[in-house]
Structure 1
């Protein structure tokens, strides 16, 4: 019992808000992610106890409304921390800098989102209907779909050093965010 510590969910899904309240009351950290939420869904989730944005800026639709949209809403919500993948492929440097400057080092979490294929040589892997491909320059994608990332090809140490280069932060700041 009590082994679940973190849940990521889309707050616009039916019954998400009561679920968030129950999870938070049980000591679980609730994070917003995999979402197409309207601003009111984000606010309801935060009011219910959501504390984090999972992989902010990733998994977003290719085309978003200029504003409002779920990225701006999460970025602007001071009660939400943000986790970001700083592998050099998931987010451009300008987005990494913006998130860190907006949220602050104390409210940003670096994550690597390493796939089980991290460190593997380029090639196509897997059996069955979904195959993954490790590309020459490092990203891991759904085979044949170069724009659909499927986890990171690097581990946390690389994400820490990449964040330094991308955001112009110190080693200590990067380590603190990787925590």
Structure 2
């Protein structure tokens, strides 16, 4: 691949505007411009993509595994690289590898792996999402209750010491297990704080937003629900314009009616964005895996423990985009923004989620049926195939 080329396509979505019969100019891994196809310099190498759609690459802030690797079971540099590669095959160009509740030793090993991947600039690696262990037992979901615990001063100091070393840092906490002062300290250190796995009240959620929390983990799941006298975390998430919300759009975690109501109700400027909560099964034919010594079963698009508890999701980001577009009736451009621009903005990933001048050339090429043709990171193809470049 040369350092400079053009992608000519029937449609190009830059994250805001849908362009027809234009070309995306890429130089040294970044977007240079979007121009009419006839304006591409004659000396520029061109990939002719026909009636395909070029869109920003997907940004997934909650990925537990992929390609047969579960991060909790393989918290290594190679494990992270495998996960990133697996999701690139479905259009994800930047992701937070997620460690759910585990031991102190596993978390420390994961932080070391994150530092190594950030230093090596592993394609697709954006940072780490630490989902637990400082959660609520009453809303544990699939998290091992034996490992859930309040945040200690030692935990806080270890996290602060690691901040800034492994890329973007997201941590899911429950107010029951983390104090307001600890949230303030984590926020000052550079962590994005997400509320999840909690029975918190709406009023308490607001206090944690005042302290620095800016996100809610997998809206509706493992949290206090919306009620007539207590709005819970669901109500707070929809009412508070400071709280961005991840949403698992697989049809199992949240009913489509609830998704539609939430999307209409959400106050901005913060948005609802898509997450996969994907496990190791993505990109494989595996029928299950082990998590904290427990068997997780894969069947009919669902991942469950033996008692039926949902254990992450068996879905990729492109499938989430199709779901909200086809099942919920969202405009395709809005569905694409939920998978790219909105999560990038929520985590503060400048240069991601858009295809505007100066942005990273992280993109997907989709055919008219929304099947993936290719995935590109920093102007280099990492999944699928492209036409041979020709001179204009």
Give the TM-score taking structure 1 as reference length: 0.86
Tell me what 1:170 maps to.
331
Tell me what 1:40 maps to.
203
Tell me what 1:84 maps to.
247
- Give the drift of 1:166: 3.4
Once residues 119 and 145 of structure 1 are traced to their aligned partners in structure 2, the CA distance between those partners, rounded to angstroms, is: 25
Residue 225 of structure 2 is aligned to residue 67 of structure 1: no
Residue 181 of structure 2 is aligned to residue 18 of structure 1: yes
Once residues 240 and 185 of structure 2 are traced to their aligned partners in structure 1, the CA distance between those partners, rounded to angstroms, is: 22
Give 2:190's match in structure 1, choosing from 20, 27, 30.
27
Once residues 128 and 174 of structure 1 are traced to their aligned partners in structure 2, the CA distance between those partners, rounded to angstroms, is: 34
Once residues 189 and 287 of structure 2 are traced to their aligned partners in structure 1, the CA distance between those partners, rounded to angstroms, is: 43
Residue aligned with 2:194, SS: strand
Residue 286 of structure 2 is aligned to residue 125 of structure 1: no
Once residues 32 and 19 of structure 1 are traced to their aligned partners in structure 2, the CA distance between those partners, rounded to angstroms, is: 13
Bigger Rg over Cα:
2
Specify whether residues 127 and 11 from structure 1 end up closer, same or farther in structure 2 by C-alpha distance, changes over 3 A only: closer
Residue aligned with 1:51, SS: strand
Tell me what 2:279 maps to.
115
Once residues 127 and 150 of structure 1 are traced to their aligned partners in structure 2, the CA distance between those partners, rounded to angstroms, is: 9
- Give the drift of 1:97: 0.8
CA contact (8 A) 1:132 1:141 kept: yes
Residue aligned with 2:213, SS: coil
Higher relative contact order (CA 8 A, sep 6+): 2
Tell me what 1:94 maps to.
257
Once residues 274 and 324 of structure 2 are traced to their aligned partners in structure 1, the CA distance between those partners, rounded to angstroms, is: 8
Specify whether residues 128 and 11 from structure 1 end up closer, same or farther in structure 2 by C-alpha distance, changes over 3 A only: closer
Task: Specify every segment of 5 or more residues in structure 2 that has no aligned partner in the other structure, as ranges.
Answer: 1-161, 341-392
Structure with the higher fraction of residues in strand conformation: 2
Count of paired positions: 174
Once residues 51 and 156 of structure 1 are traced to their aligned partners in structure 2, the CA distance between those partners, rounded to angstroms, is: 22
Task: Specify every segment of 5 or more residues in structure 1 that has no aligned partner in the other structure, as ranges.
Answer: none
**More off after superposition, 104-113 vs 33-42:** 104-113
Once residues 283 and 297 of structure 2 are traced to their aligned partners in structure 1, the CA distance between those partners, rounded to angstroms, is: 12
CA contact (8 A) 2:196 2:223 kept: no
Give the TM-score taking structure 2 as reference length: 0.41
RMSD of aligned Cα (Å)? 2.4
Residue aligned with 2:294, SS: coil
Specify whether residues 139 and 22 from structure 1 end up closer, same or farther in structure 2 by C-alpha distance, changes over 3 A only: same
